[in-house]
Structure 1
């Protein structure tokens, strides 16, 4: 159901080893991927050292913006869950030196809770 979840905007867990292999040129020698989630075409990746946000761009998704955030730079984060009439859940992450938070939208509460829990484990 991972593909269906991704199409609906739900975060689905990615294979850790596959993600590790995909990021091999980007990761430090002693860094490893611990959790990875896909949201539509984008990814949220937790490593032993940082949070990596991958934003696939263009029609084919071959162009990517990769944002690397050391955990020590995450000042705070917030989660807004879905409601009866508001079906979107939203995660906001404030990064030191930035005035506006990074924002990701989800279609279900489970996804945002899983990622919020991972943020709490790594950034706190």
Structure 2
């Protein structure tokens, strides 16, 4: 499949094999996971078709709320970074025909990486000429 880059949060890096296996039942044939961010127990998974947000609930995390957002339905996005006295950052997505979706992010989350992945998913797919002009991510 695609490149998976684990991210920060308050836990270890995302395990590419585990994420692919976990999401296999809901991925379409040929749909590839391009990037995944683990924020504490929750996941932000960017595929070549959509953003999948997995919210693990309860003490065991066995109950999960899975949201699938096709990139074409995301009209705008915002990332709010943590301030001096804030402990967390926030991501807000505006989706056609729905109220905005807000998710907390860890203070140590890779805000630039999430912002870049959203821009690639939303903007490059709406303006295909941008996809080839975007610089490759460098470093870790």
In the superposition, the TM-score normalised over structure 1's length comes to: 0.83
1:105 match: 104
1:35-87 CA distances to partner (integer Å, 9 max, x unpaired)?
11111111100001100000111111111111100000001001112222334
Whole-angstrom CA distance in 1 between matches of 2:42 and 2:101:
14
8 Å contact from structure 1 (residues 80, 90) kept in 2: yes
1:123 match: 122
Structure 1 runs (4+) deviating above 6 angstroms are none
Whole-angstrom CA distance in 1 between matches of 2:88 and 2:22:
30
Q: Helix, strand or coil for the counterpart of 1:20?
A: helix
User: In the TM superposition, what is the alpha-carbon distance from 1:13 to its structure 2 partner?
Assistant: 4.5
Higher strand share: 1
User: In the TM superposition, what is the alpha-carbon distance from 1:34 to its structure 2 partner?
Assistant: 0.7
1:114 match: 113
User: In the TM superposition, what is the alpha-carbon distance from 1:88 to its structure 2 partner?
Assistant: 2.5
Whole-angstrom CA distance in 1 between matches of 2:60 and 2:94:
30
2:10 match: 6
8 Å contact from structure 2 (residues 9, 38) kept in 1: no
Map 1:1-124 to 2 at 5 A: 5-7=9-11, 13-99=13-99, 101-108=100-107, 111-124=110-123
8 Å contact from structure 1 (residues 56, 65) kept in 2: yes
8 Å contact from structure 1 (residues 52, 68) kept in 2: yes
- Gaps spanning 5+ residues in structure 1: where? none
In the superposition, the TM-score normalised over structure 2's length comes to: 0.74
2:130 match: none
